[in-house]
């Protein structure tokens, strides 16, 4: 008698885990998460003050220009601080 089961069912090999790649190395962040969240506000404050001083030297006591320069400097500092936090939080 002929065994027809081999025609319909293929033998499945077990996975060879020895050939699998291991997990990628993940470097832990050097800066704690609570300290990283404060960086964007510090940079926003510093850039805001810098923008205010530069505008004051440039235009004098024009309060509208001073306010706009302060807000623009703060926004730029916030963006830079956020990028720095993201870079510090990345794991290599």
In the chain, domain spans: 41-92
pTM for the complete prediction?
0.59
- C-alpha distances (whole Å) from 51 to each of 31, 36, 46, 55, 85 are 28, 23, 9, 6, 22
Query: Would you state the structure tokens that stand for residue 36, as one six-digit string?
Result: 């990283």
- Residue 74, pLDDT above cutoff 90: yes
Lowest-pLDDT range of 32-41, 46-55, 81-90: 32-41
Q: Is the Cα dihedral 31, 32, 36, 38 positive or negative? A: negative
pLDDT category at 88 given cuts 50, 70, 90 is: confident
Average pLDDT over residues 49-75: 94
Mean pLDDT over each residue of the chain, to the nearest integer: 79
pLDDT category at 8 given cuts 50, 70, 90 is: low
> Residue 77 in contact with residue 37, Cβ under 8 Å?
no
DSSP state string for 36-72: HTTHHHHHHHHHHHHHHHHHHHHHSS-HHHHHHHHHH
pLDDT category at 38 given cuts 50, 70, 90 is: confident
pLDDT at 39: 79
Residue 60 gets the label, from left (phi > 0), alpha (psi -120 to 50) or beta, of left
């Amino acid at each position: 008698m002929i065994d027809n089961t081999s025609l319909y069912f293929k033998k499945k090999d077990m996975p060879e885990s020895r050939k699998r790649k291991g997990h990628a190395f993940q470097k832990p962040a050097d800066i704690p998460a609570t300290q990283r969240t404060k960086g964007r506000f510090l940079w926003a404050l510093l850039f805001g003050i810098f923008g205010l001083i530069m505008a004051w030297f440039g235009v004098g006591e024009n309060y509208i220009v001073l306010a706009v320069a302060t807000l623009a400097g703060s926004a730029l500092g916030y963006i830079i601080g956020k990028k720095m936090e993201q870079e510090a939080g990345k794991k290599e």
